[in-house]
Chain A
């Protein structure tokens, strides 16, 4: 394990990884500030204005006559929306990426849809960090029979093709949605993110456990134990900081797979539900719009490009991080 600062320097010198990191930062920024951008509403159906929807991309640059978003925006989003009115007035982008079959602006839908992917990524990151790291670290530190049972549970869960169970469970949860909303105040979307979190921590637990197992025998942990440090203190102060490299690399692998999983479920109609937007829903819309009479290729190309570029960038950053944190890598000696 090499120091974080050194790894960061290596990453700076990896031009591909650095470019991708900057790109991901821009995507995150655009996604978070979506209400601030002069984009038309992603959900308002506008068939009167676009009589021949879907409209092909790039026919004009800007148009006037912004229609307010009639969705319930969160407090922050509403403030951003007010700021947009001050900045751009009634100016809005013309359909730069075209519109879909219902006349909704595709660029706006892609930008707003990225929020779903990011939420899924956050859910998975949170579960991996809290559940996965704790589970793995406790198993590794405890050792013996406890370790054996904890890892056997992970093995058993991993041996199942989770997607089937998840789809099955989401189908059943759909039956209880009214009760869930009434009694616990959660809707299917929350259940969906919970499920995503629940399936994404297993690899993390396994990797962290392996790393902790190696660290447990190291001299400085022994020294801390001899000095009388308590179990939690050893875990938090001595072990976890040294596991961070593995954790970061594992996260860069988990996040793309979770984004794919989200898109996959939404595509099948089991994840996010319209009128909410996600890249999976956009891809499903695009697939539905394929017909031999008029090929609306942009409906397929836009979500494909969005998903492809973000996941590609995540993979490149992950590879770069792995190299930067690998002490055996030529540049790190």
Chain B
């Protein structure tokens, strides 16, 4: 298990390293750059700005400064010729540098304001989606062939197919304009959370329902369930105690992709509902050429998805000891 995790960590680090390196040099090579405004800056001001962001350094030095963990400018370690007031910096030290668009804020500041919002939204969406999806899937498998089963299958297939931004628009029209129950957009109270979380979780709930239904049907046809029934256990106990764990397995393995899906889905949802989360920061930064912010969010989200995936894999292997850790 530890070997498996270690190998995945190495693979992830190498991939992310390649990605960061490639995109760093790509964005340095881009003509223009973040200080291209309609109005030409005074040469002295521009020189100051460039030296403030170390754009006057050679590319390799900028890259080392960005990656870290050592700070290379005049406040760096004494051994490197600085005054030692700030020896460490760069991504490896948890510092993603200054934002190029929001002049007086660092990427770290922006992330620490916006990430909790995105995480709250994502957690809430994932929570309701998994709970409802699981309940619907299990119920539909137990009542196989009934009208309820048909309705669950139809709804699940429909919501797998509908993109979450379409669900969001429909929800806004229905629940904010036609029946003015909830606020249209914004962030602040729990009422602002409901519509975006519903829209964000809808596809996940549909996927979970489908997986839970298939898993439950498969488990219900197994011999040990028949044995449990034959020895006279009440149906409720057969389903909850014996069959449910089997139905949970495919759902558990889907949680990693589901979390990634919620994170990416939040890019759009945060934009629609004007939520000041990391997702909307990311889209704006990509459109505004705020490269350090975009790269910071990319790195953080990649790490987050990687950590969640690993967590889910570990949980999955604990749930089902038959899985060979080495095979993956």
For window 247-293 of chain A, which residues contact chain B by CB distance below 8 Å? Answer: 256, 260, 263-264, 267-270, 283-284, 286-287, 290, 292
B41 at the interface (CB under 8 A from A): no
In contact, A287 and B287 (Cβ under 8 angstroms): no
CA distance in complex: A132, B211 (Å): 25
CA distance in complex: A319, B153 (Å): 12
Is the contact region of chain B dominated by helix, strand, or loop, or is it mixed?
Answer: helix
Residues of B within 8 A of A312 (CB): 157-158, 161
In contact, B264 and A256 (Cβ under 8 angstroms): no
How near does chain B come to A258, taking the closest CB pair, in angstroms? 12
For window 51-72 of chain A, which residues contact chain B by CB distance below 8 Å? Answer: none
Residues of B within 8 A of A304 (CB): 162, 166, 169-170
Residues of A within 8 A of B172 (CB): 290
A167 at the interface (CB under 8 A from B): yes
Residues of A within 8 A of B166 (CB): 283, 300, 303-304, 307-308
B151 at the interface (CB under 8 A from A): no
In contact, B158 and A159 (Cβ under 8 angstroms): no
B125 at the interface (CB under 8 A from A): no
CA distance in complex: A164, B263 (Å): 10
A130 at the interface (CB under 8 A from B): no
In contact, A155 and B11 (Cβ under 8 angstroms): yes
CA distance in complex: A256, B162 (Å): 10
Count how many pairs of residues, one from A and one from B, have CB atoms less than 8 Å apart in the complex: 134
How near does chain B come to A202, taking the closest CB pair, in angstroms? 13
**Known interface pairs A172-B27, A295-B177, A308-B166. Does A160 touch B15 (Cβ–Cβ under 8 Å)?**
yes
How near does chain A come to B220, taking the closest CB pair, in angstroms? 15
Residues of B within 8 A of A88 (CB): none
Interface residues on B, range: 35 or more
Q: Beyond A155-B11, A160-B305, A319-B157: 18 further Cβ-contacts under 8 Å?
A: A159-B8, A160-B16, A164-B297, A169-B26, A170-B286, A175-B32, A256-B161, A260-B163, A264-B165, A264-B267, A267-B165, A268-B283, A284-B165, A290-B177, A292-B184, A304-B166, A307-B161, A307-B166
| Interface residues in chain B, defined as those with a beta carbon under 8 Å from any beta carbon in chain A | 8, 11-12, 14-16, 19, 23, 26-27, 30-32, 157-158, 160-163, 165-166, 168-170, 172-173, 177-178, 184, 260, 263-264, 267-268, 271-272, 282-283, 286-287, 289, 291, 294-295, 297-298, 301-302, 305-306, 309
13 pairs from A and B in contact (CB 8 Å cutoff): A160-B19, A163-B267, A167-B282, A168-B298, A175-B32, A263-B165, A268-B271, A270-B283, A283-B163, A283-B169, A287-B169, A295-B177, A310-B161
A-B CB proximity, top 4 nearest: A311-B161, A171-B286, A156-B15, A312-B161
| Interface residues in chain A, defined as those with a beta carbon under 8 Å from any beta carbon in chain B | 152, 155-157, 159-161, 163-165, 167-172, 175-176, 256, 260, 263-264, 267-270, 283-284, 286-287, 290, 292, 295, 297, 300, 303-304, 307-308, 310-312, 314-316, 319
